[in-house]
Structures are given as C-alpha cells and as structure tokens.
Amino acid sequence: MSNKSQVEVESRVIHGAHGVSSEEDHILTGKVLQVGIGSIIIFIVGGIWSWRLQVATTHEFAPEGPAPIPALITPDKDHRTAYEIGIVNQRLFQQDTHAEEKIRSQQEALDKGYAEDRNVVSRTPLNQAMDQVIAQQAAARQKPAAPAPTPESQPTPAPQP
C-alpha cells in the first residue's frame, strides 16, 4: 500500500449533497504528453519508412522511370483525346455527344425511310406512314353508315274459318 496516511486519502474524497462520495479527478499531464509525443514520433517514423519502401519498390520495378503516357490518352493538336480506349469511355459526360448523334441518325433514318443501306429507301418514311394512317381513319369516319336493315313486313295471315 502507499505511504499516504488515512487522513490524506480521506481528504481527497468529495462528499456530494445526496450522499454520493467520489474522489477528486487528477490528470497526470506529464504522462498524457509523453504518450502524445511518443505517438507522433512513431507516426512520423512510420511515414518516412513507408515512403522509402515505396521509392525502393518503384525503382526495383521501373528502373527507367515511369512508363510513357499512351498516345490515345494524350490530347492531339485539337485538344481531343480518343473517344474510347478498350471499352472505357474517356470523355466527360458534358462533352460526350455520342448518344445524341446516334439518336439523331436513327431519327433521320425513320424520317427518310432508310434501312440498313442509307442509299436504299426500303420502307415508307415515318411521317408519310403516319399521314396515311390518319387519312385512312378519317376516310373510315366519313363513310356514311350503311342503312340499318328494315324488318320485312310479314303478310298477315288470313283469318281461318
């Protein structure tokens, strides 16, 4: 046990208004600072060690330096890069007009009646086909309805004697 007398130990006990007793808080500032400074030193040493390990590994695997950037990725004189490398789309969404161009060409094919070959019109253009359907429906509505069949009058039977 410690060399403190019973009076010294009891003098540190705080008696609350509701009969609760607790000991006064004592923060060992020196120990807290030692742990904090030790942690910072360990963190710095670990960071320097991992950086040196990365540099050594990079020199081991690429002694000539980093590989050159592929030509498809670097912009050309018009500041354009390749649209797609492999299956990865390289353009920003704001600059990518591929979908709009595809929809525009599909709409043009529908409007002009193109099929697989753009030089051959293989079907009725969409607008013309829609006009034909509308005209057929309008003509069907304007035809007079056939007269309803009238019931034939049946001869009345002669009275029998």
Q: Give 22-80 pLDDT, tens digit per residue.
A: 777 778 899 999 999 999 999 999 999 999 999 999 999 988 888 887 666 666 666 66
For 83, phi then psi, to 5°, come to -65, -45
- Distance (Å, rounded) from C-alpha 111 to C-alpha 124? 9
Q: Confidence class of residue 134 from pLDDT cuts 50, 70 and 90?
A: very high
Other Cβ atoms less than 10 A from the Cβ of 110: the count is 14
Q: What is the pTM of this model?
A: 0.35
126-142 helix and 98-112 helix, angle to the nearest 10 degrees: 50
**Tokens 């590989």 -> residue:** 67
**Tokens 């050159």 -> residue:** 68
